[in-house]
Amino acid sequence: MSGLISKMFGGGKGKNKAPTPQEAIQKLRETEEMLEKKQAFLEKKIDQEVGTAKKNAAKNKRAALQALKRKKRYEKQLQQIDGTLSTIEFQREALENASTNTEVLNVMGNAAKALKAAHQNMDVDKVHDLMDDVAEQQEIANEISEAISNPVGFGQDADEDDLMAELEELEQEELDQKLLDVGPMVDNLPAVPSEPVPVAASKSKPQHDDDELKELEAWAS
């Protein structure tokens, strides 16, 4: 078995070059397939020997015992193959993980090189100086905008205390004007009469209405 694995992995003389992880993984998979086929063959032979032993158990014990011995050898070989398959599977998974890690490291290395190349022409001190210049120019722009937005020659010579005094005078004048518009307050209202107010008599009906009524009564009688 060791000779087969050595042959498959190029372990002969004059072959010092190590296979790549991908080549080793492929060889391990091929070995797994071969051993699995051998495993299936041994399981079939074991079943056959069990059948032979059962068939000759009563009439030919010697043949039955020989069949059981062969079955034991096959079972031992099958057990060895199971252990070998477990070892190969472990190696294959380790190589696959190593290959994956190698690819990831290569990608990360390329990314680091690209990032380094991108930053090659950048100086941190120069970047800070540039940002300071940007902030300074922004401050100047804000001052210019503020200066432009203030009206020229308006309110520059006016004193704030004088303006407040003038505003208070205007407010007082407005309040006085409102009080004058209201007029004097009437304190004494006429008293409510204690006697009942006579109700105006209803107007009498015109005379011609009484004459028509009388005429109607006479006609009816």
Q: How far apart are CA 52 and CA 66, in angstroms?
A: 9
Q: Residue 15 carries which side chain, given as an amino acid letter?
A: K
Q: To the nearest whole number, what is the mean pLDDT of the chain?
A: 79
pLDDT at 7: 54
> Residue 27 sits in which domain range?
20-117
pLDDT in tens, 95-153: 999 888 988 999 999 998 888 888 887 777 888 888 888 999 999 999 888 888 876 65
Q: pLDDT tens across 192-216, in order?
A: 556 655 554 444 445 556 666 666 5
Residue 91 within a domain: yes
Percentage of the chain lying above the pLDDT 90 cut: 34
Q: Give CA separation, 212 vs 202, 204, 220, 221, in Å.
A: 21, 15, 12, 14
Sign of the CA dihedral running 146, 151, 152, 156: negative
In a domain, 129, yes or no: no
| C-alpha distances in Å from residue 4, one per residue of 7, 9, 12, 28, 140 | 5, 9, 11, 12, 82
Q: What is the pTM of this model?
A: 0.44
80 lies in some domain:
yes
In a domain? residue 196: no
Q: In this structure, is residue 195 part of a structural domain?
A: no
Report the alpha-carbon distance of residue 204 to residue 32 in Å, rounded. Answer: 137
pLDDT above 70 for 176:
yes
Counted domains in the chain: 1
| Structure-token pair, residue 177 | 């004007």
Q: Is 95 exposed, middle or buried (0-12, 13-18, 19+ CB in 10 A)?
A: buried
Burial of 9 per CB tally in 10 Å (0-12, 13-18, 19+)? middle
Percent share of the chain, pLDDT over 70:
71
CA angle 89, 87, 19 (to 5 degrees): 70
Domain of 60, CATH number, reads 1.10.287.1060
**Helix/strand/coil for 165:** helix
Q: Using alpha carbons, select from 85, 82, 75 the residue that is nearest to residue 44.
A: 75
Residue 99 lies in a domain: yes
Residue 122 lies in a domain: no
Residue 215 is encoded by which pair of tokens?
């005429």
Q: How far is CA 92 from the centre of its chain?
A: 38
113: left (phi over 0), alpha (psi -120 to 50) or beta: alpha
- What is the predicted pLDDT for the residue at 147? 82
Q: pLDDT tier at 68 (50, 70, 90 boundaries)? A: very high
pLDDT, tens only, 152-161: 655 555 577 7
Residue 67 near residue 56 (C-beta atoms within 8 A): yes
**Confidence at residue 197, expressed as pLDDT on a 0 to 100 scale:** 54
Annotate 54-107 with three-state secondary structure. HHHCCCCHHHHHHHHHHHHHHHHHHHHHHHHHHHHHHHHHHHHHHHHHHHHHHH
